[in-house]
Amino acid sequence: MATGKVYFELQERKIEVPAGTNLLQAAALADVLIEGDCGGKGTCGKCRIKILTGGSGKITPAEKRLFSPEELAAGWVLACRQKVTGDLDLVIETSGARDDVISKTRQKRQAPGAALDPSVRKYYRSLSLPAPDDRTPDLERLVNSLPGRGIEADLGVVAGLPRLLRQAGFKITAVLAGNRIVAVEPGNTCGRAYGLALDLGTTTLAGYLVDLVRGEVAAISVSCNPQAVFGADVISRIRHAAYNEDGLHQLQEKMLDAVNGIIRRLQDQALIQNEEIYETIVVGNTTMIHLFLGVEPSNLALAPFIPAFNRSLELRSAELRLRLPPAGRILILPSVAGFVGSDTVAMLLAAKLDRCENVCLAVDIGTNGEVALADRDRILVCSSAAGPAFEGYHIEYGMRAVEGAIDSVVIGQDVQLGVIGGTAPRGICGSGLIDAVAGMLKAGIIDSAGRFVESEPDRAGLYPGLRSRLLKNGSGAGFLLAPGRLTATGKDIVITQKDIKELQLAKAAIAAGVRVLLQEMGISAGGIHEVLLAGAFGSHVKKESALAIGLLPPVSPYRIKSIGNAAGDGAILCLISRAERTRALSLGSRVEHIDLSSRADFYDKFVDALPFPDLTD
Amino acid sequence: MATGKVYFELQERKIEVPAGTNLLQAAALADVLIEGDCGGKGTCGKCRIKILTGGSGKITPAEKRLFSPEELAAGWVLACRQKVTGDLDLVIETSGARDDVISKTRQKRQAPGAALDPSVRKYYRSLSLPAPDDRTPDLERLVNSLPGRGIEADLGVVAGLPRLLRQAGFKITAVLAGNRIVAVEPGNTCGRAYGLALDLGTTTLAGYLVDLVRGEVAAISVSCNPQAVFGADVISRIRHAAYNEDGLHQLQEKMLDAVNGIIRRLQDQALIQNEEIYETIVVGNTTMIHLFLGVEPSNLALAPFIPAFNRSLELRSAELRLRLPPAGRILILPSVAGFVGSDTVAMLLAAKLDRCENVCLAVDIGTNGEVALADRDRILVCSSAAGPAFEGYHIEYGMRAVEGAIDSVVIGQDVQLGVIGGTAPRGICGSGLIDAVAGMLKAGIIDSAGRFVESEPDRAGLYPGLRSRLLKNGSGAGFLLAPGRLTATGKDIVITQKDIKELQLAKAAIAAGVRVLLQEMGISAGGIHEVLLAGAFGSHVKKESALAIGLLPPVSPYRIKSIGNAAGDGAILCLISRAERTRALSLGSRVEHIDLSSRADFYDKFVDALPFPDLTD
């Protein structure tokens, strides 16, 4: 197998990889983090690097769109578009790239709405000078000048206080996180204060730098979770921790490295010092939180799936190896159960499910789907193991939502496809699959049981363009989405009978979870006032298609709203509002966790939810 | 200059030192800590080592007394008695020595009296097992089983909890320090729990291992403060921190190393694990506490002498580099001022000055004398700079209280001397000087102004044996204690007129401090019910002599009591009694600090106190 060498100049790392590996993958293998948040689709334009020597010289349409001719001439490319050719060594520069990329792709995002009242507070004080008749010690002098009682200070703060006070002429700014002095700075720095919201996902780690003075998101940085080298899913990572002596430590170190990378990039983007990040709110699924903290996770993978803790934990940054001020506060939001983590709690907070006037359903669809149903009094939550069909796995031609994936399908007289990156299709991702199956249902290609129509009268009713796509081959019935002559692989892309079954299993799991919660609440689907879709999948899936296949309960599409990355928003809310934080902390115990695996009625509801809704109803 | 090499086998350290250096000093220079608490007098017998090869073969009387013939034959010697000869390399074993020494010199000391009610509590629990219908997380399962609310746990405890619970079959002992779980141990370990009391002095560091189940002192270990290599007094150490970039860190590291040595020896003595020491109470003078914590001390040496903090601080062991369980609690008792440290607060606690029924005076005499006066309502404290005369410095033939020092003097018809170690005298230490001057006063050799009597009638009244000792030489009058033919140096040992002045200055500083406090309290010396003498000097000085020279106010000697190492006792009390700890924490703010340097009347009182009491009164 041909291989090629890539040398990352700034990091002084060299790696040899198989030809065909793209430079984003090569960087990941070399432990060089290159920013990017479209998952290698060539759309976000973030993974810019400069090829100093080597390279194929082939420029892709994405690069033509994103770079000026001068930049292209200088060697700028997208790491995800360029492959190692095997006959040339590459030398890559990522350093200049980073600043340049950031200035072009900096994202400002409005922080989710809440009155600005952060837990981190700054107080500028011009303290009276010590004198023979005023020998108050430095710390007491400072504390006496601050509002509130029971104020404490970290040893690190006390240690440097004498010098700092005198160098600053006793004109200083004290930074309090709650009742704790986490920093003291010379002069008046009240105009600058930052917090960090971290959302630790199995696949993706997201960091939001929040300006606590202006109440806005100052920068966002996203990276792959580098623990992926130990397995894509939580179970394989838990196994790695369980079966390798240093496994847990390795997993934690990977995560901390990546979070430190995120912090560095946020700093660079927002032009701040990491010492100005006084507080961090952390959310994530229960396993990721365990691994982040170095807490033994193995019982999360063994029945009866007991977490080490659900409660919120408060740490000082120094307890983890993070590039944050040592006395800075780290608050882990509470979890609910082994499969309902603090990310769900944050989602509930952002979705305001603790303040519902009407019945509200919130759904975060993934391999584990979290479903929450709330009214004025109760908040019910369950986690439903939908399996990976929504992520494109276990589907004959399935793939993740990356370049070449069919992500939207419209079935009219014929079939119209949308492909990520605008290239020839290589497969189909979750949202494409839902679209396709919804369209097939509507067009009468499959019946509500998910079976391909077989009778001649049924088939005769189809448009000719669709009828010609119906296949019957050795592996059963199928529907041709794209013939081989139009695909990137040269092979047909087909929706098979098995694919439809997989989708039915996945959507039935979610739908049955919804039905259990509705029954627990004592209402029917008609009583749902609003459906909130959280997360990336929730933003991409077409509401009508989701309704058509019965993934969501029968409500008007106007009642369905995407709320984006609600977990991150919830963490941000906890940074900017003490009231919201108090809500989040109480949510952990307020939420009623409905454990589906112990419900006798879940299986019945699951079976009931397998058929598609009868569109003739 | 002849030098000799010494090799410490266990520690694998080699050092070359000038001939004549004793092995205790050589060990200190090689950073090898050898236990010993008599300051090299050859009396405590603790610095036992075994010479494997080399050595002079000369056995001193102290060694003959302390070792059996078999031990002597095996090479056992006292490190403080044996010198490097310069013509032989020595190989030293301290390891076997340690255990052996300990078994012979182990000290059990009754803990100072207080009802046993430690802050550290152990709870044995046989927890219910997780089950499908009981998925309480591990931490919550444990916390729910413990009494009290708001119980928190250290991350380190949470991290290992899942494995520990399962390995122990959910039968565990939780260790709480206050509201915090500092350890969880498999099985029932309620029978074992230890705390550490540390007294950090400028010269000596003392550690007391306290059995918190039995309420007794399990072991004591004392070491020299190795910061002494940067200067004997606090000022030179503060300067070292101020003028060397890494100075503060060096001082802290030296101290932490020594404390770790103390912890190791306590462990070895008491046959415990360091993980069983759940809590540490630290007292010391204000400078030592700053240096122990790595807190900038320079303003303690600059007017107006502002400490970084006086309040008590609570840390986790992990915040310092100590050989203690990372989650273990470290509590620094509060100080009162730059020269009135937490050791004084602990002394006040042990002396029960916060619970006086009558007026009580407590004095800790040293280079800095701390004086406290309390009645039912108030506790007044001052620090008086007595200077080093009590330690034998600034005295013509003065020396520290080590071997060869005259430590007691009886003047009758002639002079009778007591010498530390029973050898020929080399000089005189503080308690000897006080005895000598008291005796000279009584015998009429000096008058109450401290002047040698000169008139013929006065001299004629003296015993002939004393009269013959009156000298008149170039440097003024003097009193011959020991003629050169009887001394170790061949030189006369004489009390000079200047020595008497030095002692007058020193005792007047203490006495004036007492007078200021008496005036502040509005009482006379006659109102003092009890005088408590704290510290080593207080244990050694003769009450009658101290009264005779006016170091102490005129009270009956029966009202004077030595209370030994009251600072250590106070720290121990805080370990074994929550009520005592609460008292200690409130003492910091309850005590009224009387700043002598800012009192206009101090100088007058000081001058008034310079003469000796008129014995004819």
**DSSP string covering B335-386, please?**
--BTTB-HHHHHHHHHTTGGG-SS-EEEEE-SSEEEEEEE-SS-EEEEEEE-
Sign of CA dihedral A138, A139, A142, A144: negative
Q: What is the pLDDT of residues B4-29, one digit of tens each?
A: 888 877 666 777 887 888 888 787 77
Cα(B94)–Cα(B261) distance, integer angstroms: 13
Q: Which residues does chain A have within 8 Å of residue B243's beta carbon, measured at their own beta carbons?
A: none
Which of residues A29 and A214 earns the better pLDDT score? A214
Nearest to B162 among A135, A296, A319 (CB): A296
What mean pLDDT do residues B306-314 have? 96
Q: From 1.20.1250.20, 3.40.50.720, 3.10.20.30, 3.10.450.100, which CATH number describes the A3-105 domain?
A: 3.10.20.30
Just give the CATH number of B343-388+504-608: 3.30.420.40
* Strands in B499-575 per DSSP E: 530-534, 560-564
Give the least confident one: A90-99, B246-255, B434-443. Answer: A90-99
Cα(A171)–Cα(A165) distance, integer angstroms: 7
pLDDT, position B281 = 98
| Whether complex ipTM tops 0.90 | no
What mean pLDDT do residues A1-15 have? 76
Closest CA to A508 of A429, A608, A438, A409: A608
pLDDT, position B44 = 61
Contact A159 B295 (CB under 8 A): yes
Q: Which residues does chain B have within 8 Å of residue A589's beta carbon, measured at their own beta carbons?
A: none
Contact predicate A171/A198, CB 8 Å: no
Mind giving me the DSSP string for A243-261? Answer: HSTTHHHHHHHHHHHHHHH
Q: Which residues does chain A have within 8 Å of residue B340's beta carbon, measured at their own beta carbons?
A: none
Closest CA in chain B for residue A156: B295
Cα(B495)–Cα(B436) distance, integer angstroms: 8
Q: Residue B18 pairs with which residues in a beta bridge?
A: B3
Cα(A399)–Cα(A402) distance, integer angstroms: 8
Nearest to A313 among B132, B155, B311 (CB): B155
Nearest to B306 among A137, A310, A319 (CB): A137
Give the 3-state secondary structure percentages of chain A, helix then strand then coil, rounded to 5: 35, 25, 35
> Which of B306, B312, B381 is most worth mutating to test chain A (most A CB atoms within 10 A of its CB)?
B306
Nearest to B140 among A295, A309, A318 (CB): A309
Q: What is the pLDDT of residues A322-373, one digit of tens each?
A: 999 999 999 999 999 888 999 999 999 999 999 989 999 999 987 778 999 9
Q: Which residues does chain A have within 8 Å of residue B303's beta carbon, measured at their own beta carbons?
A: 132
Q: Please, which pLDDT band fits residue B102 given cuts at 50, 70 and 90?
A: very low
b/e map A320-332, b = 16+ CB within 10 Å: bebbbbbbbbbbb
Q: Please, which pLDDT band fits residue A36 given cuts at 50, 70 and 90?
A: low
Q: Which residues does chain A have within 8 Å of residue B598's beta carbon, measured at their own beta carbons?
A: 132-133
Closest CA in chain B for residue A248: B159
In order of B397, B424, B493, B598, the CA distances from B429 in angstroms are 9, 14, 12, 32
Cα(B101)–Cα(B93) distance, integer angstroms: 12
What amino acid occupies position B64? K
Please, is B220 exposed, middle or buried when counting C-beta atoms within 10 Å of its C-beta (0-12, 13-18, 19+)? buried
pLDDT, position A473 = 58
Cα(B329)–Cα(B340) distance, integer angstroms: 24
Residue B408: its H or E element: strand B405-411
Q: Which residues does chain B have within 8 Å of residue A161's beta carbon, measured at their own beta carbons?
A: 295-296, 308-309
Cα(B157)–Cα(B150) distance, integer angstroms: 16
Chain centroid offset of residue A91 CA: 32
Q: Give the count of Cβ contacts less than 8 A between chain A and B.
A: 134
* Cα of B605 to nearest chain A Cα, Å: 21
Contact A308 B162 (CB under 8 A): yes
Q: Which residues does chain A have within 8 Å of residue B294's beta carbon, measured at their own beta carbons?
A: 155, 159
Cα(A548)–Cα(A615) distance, integer angstroms: 8
Contact A308 B137 (CB under 8 A): yes
Chain centroid offset of residue A538 CA: 12
Please, is A140 exposed, middle or buried when counting C-beta atoms within 10 Å of its C-beta (0-12, 13-18, 19+)? middle
Sign of CA dihedral A364, A370, A373, A378: negative
In order of B546, B564, B616, the CA distances from B537 in angstroms are 11, 9, 28
Which of residues A177 and A91 earns the better pLDDT score? A177
Mapped onto helix, strand or coil, the DSSP state of residue A481 is strand
Would you give the DSSP letter of residue A129? P
Q: Which residues of A touch B (CB under 8 A)?
A: 130-140, 155, 158-163, 166, 293-299, 303-311, 313, 315, 318-319, 337-338, 595, 597-598
pLDDT, position A506 = 93
Residue B251: its H or E element: helix B247-270
What amino acid occupies position A488? A
Q: Which two tokens stand for residue B368?
A: 């800095």
Q: What is the pLDDT of residues B247-300, one digit of tens each?
A: 999 999 999 999 999 999 999 999 999 999 999 999 999 999 999 999 999 999
What mean pLDDT do residues A56-78 have? 82
Q: Which residues does chain B have within 8 Å of residue A289's beta carbon, measured at their own beta carbons?
A: none
Nearest to A137 among B155, B308, B598 (CB): B308
Contact predicate B184/B157, CB 8 Å: yes
Q: Which residues does chain B have within 8 Å of residue A306's beta carbon, measured at their own beta carbons?
A: 130, 135-138, 162
Contact predicate B207/B176, CB 8 Å: no
* Cα of B514 to nearest chain A Cα, Å: 21
Contact A158 B338 (CB under 8 A): no
Cα(A378)–Cα(A594) distance, integer angstroms: 12
* Cα of A90 to nearest chain B Cα, Å: 43
Domain with CATH 3.10.20.30 in chain A: 3-105
Closest CA in chain B for residue A299: B162
Q: Which residues does chain A have within 8 Å of residue B319's beta carbon, measured at their own beta carbons?
A: 155, 318
Strand pairing of B3-8 and B90-93?
parallel
Architecture per CATH, A360-387+508-608:
2-Layer Sandwich (3.30)
Nearest to B299 among A160, A162, A311 (CB): A162
> Which of A128, A139, A154, A306 is most worth mutating to test chain B (most B CB atoms within 10 A of its CB)?
A306
Query: Is the whole-model pTM more than 0.90?
Result: no
b/e map A531-569, b = 16+ CB within 10 Å: bbbbbbbbebbbbebbbbbbbbbebeeeebebbbbbbbb
b/e map B22-52, b = 16+ CB within 10 Å: bbbbbbbebbbbbbbbbbbbbbbbbbbbbbe
* Cα of A402 to nearest chain B Cα, Å: 37
> Residue B96 pLDDT > 80, yes or no?
no
Contact B159 A308 (CB under 8 A): yes
Helices vs strands, H then E, count in chain B: 19, 27
Contact predicate A226/A257, CB 8 Å: yes
Which of residues B422 and A183 earns the better pLDDT score? A183
Phi then psi dihedrals of residue A401, to 5 deg: -80, 65
Q: At what angle do helices A497-521 and A600-608 cross, to 10 degrees?
A: 130
Cα(A234)–Cα(A338) distance, integer angstroms: 11
Measured between its terminal Cα atoms, the distance across chain A in Å is 58
Q: Residue A417 pairs with which residues in a beta bridge?
A: A409
Query: What fold is seen in the domain A120-186?
Result: Ubiquitin-like (UB roll) (3.10.20)
Closest CA in chain B for residue A307: B137
Cα(B194)–Cα(B3) distance, integer angstroms: 45
* Cα of B541 to nearest chain A Cα, Å: 34
Please, what is the average pLDDT of chain A? 88
CB-based contacts of A17: which residues, under 8 Å, 6+ apart? A3, A4, A6, A25, A26, A29, A84
Closest CA to A217 of A565, A582, A583: A565
Contact A304 B135 (CB under 8 A): yes
Q: Of how many residues is chain B composed?
A: 617
In this structure, whether the domain defined by A194-342 belongs to CATH 3.30.420.40 is answered with: no
* Cα of B525 to nearest chain A Cα, Å: 28
Mind giving me the DSSP string for A282-342? Answer: EEE-HHHHHHHHT---GGGSSTT---S--S-EEEEGGGTT-SS-TT-EEEEPP--BTTB-H
Contact B161 A296 (CB under 8 A): yes
What mean pLDDT do residues B100-121 have? 62
> Which of A167, A181, A295, A305 is most worth mutating to test chain B (most B CB atoms within 10 A of its CB)?
A295
**A449 CB neighbour count, 10 Å cutoff:** 11
Q: Which two tokens stand for residue A447?
A: 């019946």
Q: What is the pLDDT of residues B459-474, one digit of tens each?
A: 888 999 999 999 875 5
Contact B139 A311 (CB under 8 A): yes
Q: Please, which pLDDT band fits residue A282 given cuts at 50, 70 and 90?
A: very high
Specify the residue for token string 């129509």.
A453
pLDDT, position A102 = 27
Q: At what angle do helices A247-270 and A234-243 cross, to 10 degrees?
A: 130
* Cα of B241 to nearest chain A Cα, Å: 12
Closest CA to B450 of B515, B414, B495: B495
Specify the residue for token string 């030398």.
A91
Contact A162 B308 (CB under 8 A): yes
Q: Which residues does chain B have within 8 Å of residue A295's beta carbon, measured at their own beta carbons?
A: 155, 158-159, 161-162
In order of A349, A361, A555, the CA distances from A527 in angstroms are 22, 10, 9
Contact predicate B437/B549, CB 8 Å: yes
Specify the residue for token string 């089983």.
B145
> Residue A440 pLDDT > 90, yes or no?
yes
Contact predicate A268/A321, CB 8 Å: no
Cα(B262)–Cα(B198) distance, integer angstroms: 9
Nearest to A155 among B293, B298, B303 (CB): B293
Nearest to A295 among B158, B319, B337 (CB): B158
Contact B313 A155 (CB under 8 A): yes
Cα(B538)–Cα(B520) distance, integer angstroms: 24
Q: Of how many residues is chain A composed?
A: 617
Cα(A12)–Cα(B583) distance, integer angstroms: 60
